[in-house]
Structure 1
Amino acid sequence: MAETEGARTEVLERKRALMEELAKSTTISSSWPVPVTNETCSAPLRECNTKEWLISVTNGTCSAPLGECNAKELLISITNQYKNAQPLICRAPELLCKDEKSAKFFYPEVVAIGPYHRCKANLKLAEDHKLAAALKFTSGRCIHEFYNKVKNVTAQARACYADKFELTDEEFACMLFFDGCFLLHFIDCCVKKKMEEFTMSTHLHGFIRGDMFLLENQLPFVVLDALMSLKQVKLDDFFLSVIEKARPYEAARAPYHLLDLLRTKLLGPPNDGQQAGQGEPNLNTFRSVKELREVGIKFRLSESHHLSDIKFHPGIVCGTLSLPKIVIDDLTRSQYLNMIALEMCSGSAGDYGITSFAWFLDCLIDRAEDVRELREKEILINALGSDEQVAELFNEIATDLAPDYRAYVQVLTGISDHRKAKFKVSIFRFLDTHFSSPWTAIAFFAALVLLALSVIQTIFTVYPRS
């Protein structure tokens, strides 16, 4: 019995040593728990399904031999599979819907696109208009050609949804066809400035544009691509009208759907702006635009208008924070919340660009005076209403978010270093106090002259001319 216990202990010690070597040779964080107990591995590890083995290790139930498995290559392979996974079209996360004020921004108001909201009574009005839109969009060619294109990708499109729907392939194909024609006909009319050809009332067009960019109201891009193979629609021109002064940008991959395309075009290329840095950022760097301005950090419009283009430029006395143009209107809250929801979906590979941007703006904007400062620098365009409403918008959007703080580590480090330079800050405050306007400058020089005259008078009083 003693020999058995001794052998078992020896095996466990070898397991612990092996796991320590694996932890050193792979990308597993030291904080990742790898339980090794009397109930876990107790045999030499040779041939195994390494993916299943890793899963069983994390669950504390591993009993398969590992042998010569290259854990580092396996982890890289699994990570790459996760990164390459397409985020499925799904329901908005419960975390974002728990607030009633935000929950309503995930549901369509006029038209249902896709299977999630197709049976809602308040959206039935648009169904007849989908037929009219399909007839107009396919005019000039046989409508069956368009339908067959969609039918060929129905199985691929169905796989893009996280949920299963009790629709036959024929019903699913019909839904995709009419919804796709409706979207593309609306976009085509917008681009050609022929909205009179769109059958729904003009006052509903703004609501339709909002419904197009809801996570639960998306159509797989493969459907739109199939329809556009027979009739071209200028999507880039449409997005230039949606995104204020955005530069054209072609992503390295095909979009998943229109909401994903909007997000990609807003953020811009990864190397266009701030790159994720190494190390932990200082999250206590600042609390508002006003606070930054008081320590000599000025604001200016960045060269591009992509949301990723945020940079800090140190100076001899003053620092400069460059920000992209930010347009705030009635659709901003809905679009940001749904893009954040998209980033929370499984398969987004930890890309939290919009989430991080919303968090950064929340750091900058605390009160209405912060909004006013950005407006005066022509960085923020307020088409929503009062400055108080804009401040409230970002304060509410950023609630309970988990951004990637590393996205702005270089900016936050630059701001922190500037604030720590007490001599620079003191010089700025002196100059700001005495030279912020012509009148303060005149008053300062007048005070210097009076002081000099007083000194001269004192000298002549003490040492009178003989």
Structure 2
Amino acid sequence: MEQLIIYIEEREALADEAACIFRVHERLRNANEKAYTPILISIGPYHRCQPKLLAMEKCKEHYLELLLQRNNNLRKKDYLDSMKKLEERACKCYADPVDHLDSDESVKMMLYDACFVIEFLFGLYEFFVVEDKHQQSHVGDEVKVSWKMIQICRDLMLLENQLPFFVISEFYDMSCGVGVTQNPNRNHPDTTSTLTLTLTITLTLTSTPTPTLTKLALLPIFQNLPRRIGVKFEAVEDDNDGLNLSMFDIRFEHDLFKIPKFTVADSTETFFRNIIAYEQHSLDDKSKYFTDYTYFMDQLINCKQDVTQLRRHEVLENWLGDDEVVAVMFNDLGIGTIIMLSFYYAEQCSKVNAHCKRRWNRVVASLKRDYFTNMWVTVATIAAAFLFLLTLTQTVISFFLRAHARARPHPDTDDAGNLLS
């Protein structure tokens, strides 16, 4: 009876395993296909056997040998047997069919890919942390050669280039002598992908609260905000308690936006696109922080002048060089995305819109836009205002002089106005 209960529980666990590794849907992919496609290495079944990625397959075999050296009590067959027990559960983590691989190919692929990820991360640790170069026994060219390391790190963050994290966790435990899996459904740190781990760590470290349900009806008024409504910006790094802020902690107080500093580099678009793609494919009850963040920034940024303004206030550091490229990036990140009612920045949008509705704020913003756009327009405006004041002063003085002259009596008349003889 106990065995039957265990069997039923295991079947239910497999049935409830939600897919967490997706192929990016067409609307997102069409915006920038290269952002979702690996350049150097394939991890998982979606991009396996692409000709340009086959060169790294030999490298994976070498990394498996490195992993075997960590625990001499286990052989390659032990790892294969463990992977066979996890195969059914692992395949259920992929939203799209992976039946182009037979069982043996699938088991071998996941083993080799997981061992590569583990040893590559070990290599990064040894290269950057271990000072004694003689102890860097697992540091290969994939870590030492900068362009390879950067490309591999970039490929490992792609949504379609993932393994279930429990597979990696299992082989890491085995290499450290923790033990071999007997139950394929035993608890692991996570059942989702390695990309999900990146997202989870980011959100955990930033302690991001859950957004409240608020309507988005007022968002369109946000268009071209920085240059039209007279809003100012301030870069922030720490909160009032001296703790590091989350990148999501954007606040609007009075006429001032307080925005944590952020850097736009070559990898920024790829990172954002793949995290957003994961959020878009996930269940709707999960908060979509990166989707909301990039949508909010798209509302602030419509052209390169907006990027320039953020950069001048040290809110944004542009490593791409061209502000126009940054503006286009944020404008295109939202293509194909769906914004939920639980929009994270709804409260801040409400504050901004309330500020924009005040007549005085609109008048001041209009004056700044029309008469103080640059130095020469400002000088011309001041000169015109000065001439106007001079003319007005002259008119007033002339009026009072004439009025005073009419009020004074003529010298040839008496007090009654009669002419003197």
Query: Equivalences for 1:217-228 in 2 at 5 Å?
Result: 217-228=161-172
Q: Deviations over 1:227-275 (max 9, x none)?
A: 332467xxxxxxxxxxxxxxxxxxxx84722222223344557963682
Which residue number in structure 1 is paired with residue 94 of structure 2?
161
* Distance in 1 of aligned mates of 2:321 and 2:245: 22
> How many Å separate the matches in 1 of 2:359 and 2:313?
26
TM-superposed deviation, 1:115: 1.3
| 1:399 lines up with 2:335 in the alignment | yes
1:4-403 equivalent positions in 2, closer than 5 A: 86-97=18-29, 99=30, 102-142=32-72, 143-144=74-75, 147=79, 149-162=82-95, 163-193=97-127, 197-200=139-142, 201-230=145-174, 254=190, 256-267=192-203, 272=208, 275-288=211-224, 291-302=225-236, 303=238, 304-313=244-253, 315=254, 319-345=255-281, 347=283, 349=285, 351-403=287-339
CA gap of 1:282–1:423, structure 2 versus 1, over 3 A, is: same
CA distance in 1, matches of 2:336, 2:163: 28
Mapped to 2, the partners of 1:157 and 1:411 lie a distance apart of 41
CA contact (8 A) 1:281 1:406 kept: no
1:122 maps to amino acid: K
Is the contact made by 2:166 and 2:190 (CA closer than 8 Å) also made in structure 1? no
Larger radius of gyration: 2
Change (3 A) 1:95 1:129: same
Q: 1:428 to 1:340 in 2, by over 3 A?
A: closer
Residues 308 and 202 (structure 1 numbering): CA distance in 2 closer, same or farther, change over 3 Å? closer
Equivalent pair of 2:165/2:194 in contact (CA under 8 Å)? yes
SS, match of residue 185 in structure 1: helix
Contact kept, 8 Å, 1:359 with 1:401, in 2: the verdict is: no
Q: Is the 8 A contact 1:280 1:409 kept in 2?
A: yes
Q: Distance in 2 between matches of 1:338 and 1:364?
A: 22
Distance in 2 between residues matched to 1:229 and 1:451, nearest whole Å = 87
Letter aligned with residue 276 of structure 2 = I
Aligned length: 350
**Closer/same/farther in 2, CA of residues 285 and 270 from structure 1, 3 Å limit:** farther
Question: CA-atom RMSD, angstroms?
Answer: 3.8
Letter matched to residue 312 of structure 1: F
- Once the two structures are TM-superposed, the CA of residue 159 in structure 1 deviates from its matched residue by 1.9
Deviation at 1:173, TM superposition (A): 2.7
Letter in 2 for 1:191: Y
1:322–1:138 CA distance, 2 compared to 1 (3 A): farther
Judging changes above 3 Å, is the alpha-carbon distance between structure 1 residues 168 and 310 closer, same or farther for their aligned structure 2 residues? same
Give the partner amino acid of 1:263.
L
Whether the 8 Å CA contact 1:276–1:406 is kept in 2: the answer is yes
Once the two structures are TM-superposed, the CA of residue 379 in structure 1 deviates from its matched residue by: 2.0
Tell me the alpha carbon deviations over residues 199-247 of structure 1, each in whole angstroms, 9 at most, x when there is no partner: 3354222211111011111010001211332467xxxxxxxxxxxxxxx
CA distance in 2, matches of 1:340, 1:333: 10
Separation of aligned partners in 2, 1:265 and 1:325 = 19
SS at match of 2:229: coil
User: Which digits, 9 at most, give the CA deviation of each residue in 1:279-328, with x for residues without a partner?
Assistant: 3431222213xx33542322223445534322222x2xxx2222233322
CA separation of 1:159 and 1:360: change in aligned 2, threshold 3 A = same
How high is the TM-score relative to the length of structure 2?
A: 0.70
Do the aligned partners of 1:86 and 1:347 also contact (CA within 8 Å) in 2? no
Partner of 2:349: 412
Look up the equivalent residue of 1:126 and give its one-letter code.
M
3-state DSSP class of the match of 1:110?
coil
Note if contact 1:267-1:307 (Cα within 8 Å) is conserved in structure 2.
no
Unaligned runs of 5+ in 1: 1-80, 233-252
Deviation at 1:353, TM superposition (A): 2.4
Higher relative contact order (CA 8 A, sep 6+): 2
- Would you say the 8 A contact 1:113–1:218 is kept in 2? yes
CA deviation after TM superposition for structure 1 residue 155, in Å: 2.9
Question: How far 1:168 moved relative to its partner?
Answer: 4.6
Q: SS state of the match for residue 306, structure 2? A: helix
Secondary structure of 2:48 counterpart: coil
SS in 2 for 1:323: strand
1:428 CA displacement: 7.0
Task: Give the conservation status (yes or no) of the 8 Å contact 1:274–1:310.
Answer: no
Indicate conservation of the 8 Å contact 2:206/2:246, yes or no: no
Instruction: Percent identity, please.
Output: 25
